[in-house]
Amino acid sequence: MQNLRESLDTELKAWIEPATPAGIAKIARGCIALRNNNGGTLFIGFDDKTGKPVVDGKPAIVAIAFHADVIQGIVSKYASEPFAVDVICDEWEIEGQPFEYVAVQVPSGVQTPVAAKSELASGTPKPLVAQHIIYIRSIHSGKVSSAPIRHNEWRDFMRKLRGNHEADIGDFLRRHLTSDAKSVLLDFLAEEKPKPTALD
């Protein structure tokens, strides 16, 4: 963790309050975006520019404020496709000084776009979480962020989804086909099929 920095599969946030609308929005958008990126980790307790730990705003008891049930509840409420997250509350030591942090690990394997299924109002025309919006990890002007997908990002996004579908089909076949069944299938695929006629 010495070189921690933001990337497409790593998001850094300073301390937030997961019970407030602003905190809920950052967790929901971040986890949905990481899921759509095919997994990654949302780190809380770090400066997003320097990658160094911060102490301002840290809750009195981190493990309670960021309990797994709290974070999973936020994800389940706002993500259109359910997925489980792992929440780790740990310490990072620098020069003998311990710093607490939270790591929310989002799994890979996304096969359908995950959108925000509920809106979180902000008191302004622009909601904190916009219903039906697909958030992804994106790079704009050299800065990585969790943002609504743009028209020029759909091709790469769909390629990730298609790749996971193909991997899933391959895993299924490997799990369920015996060696004899695999041989029969390969022989069938290798057979020369008759070409269709005009009447067909």
Amino acid at 4: L
pLDDT score recorded for residue 55: 93
Instruction: Pull the structure tokens for residue 147.
Output: 């943002």
Residues 80-101 have a mean pLDDT of: 93
pLDDT higher than threshold 70 for residue 175: no
* Phi, psi (degrees; rounded to nearest 5) at 105: -95, 120
91 pairs with which residues across the strands? 100
pLDDT score recorded for residue 42: 98
pTM of the model: 0.81
Neighbouring C-alpha atoms within 13 Å toward the C-beta of 147: 12
Residues 87-92 have a mean pLDDT of: 94
Quick one: what percent of the chain has pLDDT higher than 90? Answer: 72
pLDDT score recorded for residue 164: 81
- What's the mean pLDDT when you consider all of the chain? 88
pLDDT score recorded for residue 172: 52
pLDDT score recorded for residue 46: 95
The Cα 91–Cα 86 span in angstroms is 16
Residues 50-68 have a mean pLDDT of: 95
pLDDT score recorded for residue 1: 59
Element (H, E) at 180: helix 179-190
Residues 141-150 have a mean pLDDT of: 91
Question: How would you label 43-82 residue by residue, b for 16+ Cβ within 10 Å and e otherwise?
Answer: bbbbebeebebbeeebbeebeebbeeeebbebbeebbeee
* Phi, psi (degrees; rounded to nearest 5) at 129: -130, 125
Beta strands in 32-113 (DSSP E): 40-44, 86-94, 97-106
- Identify the weakest region by mean pLDDT among 2-11, 117-126, 130-139: 2-11
- Identify the weakest region by mean pLDDT among 22-31, 111-120, 141-150: 141-150
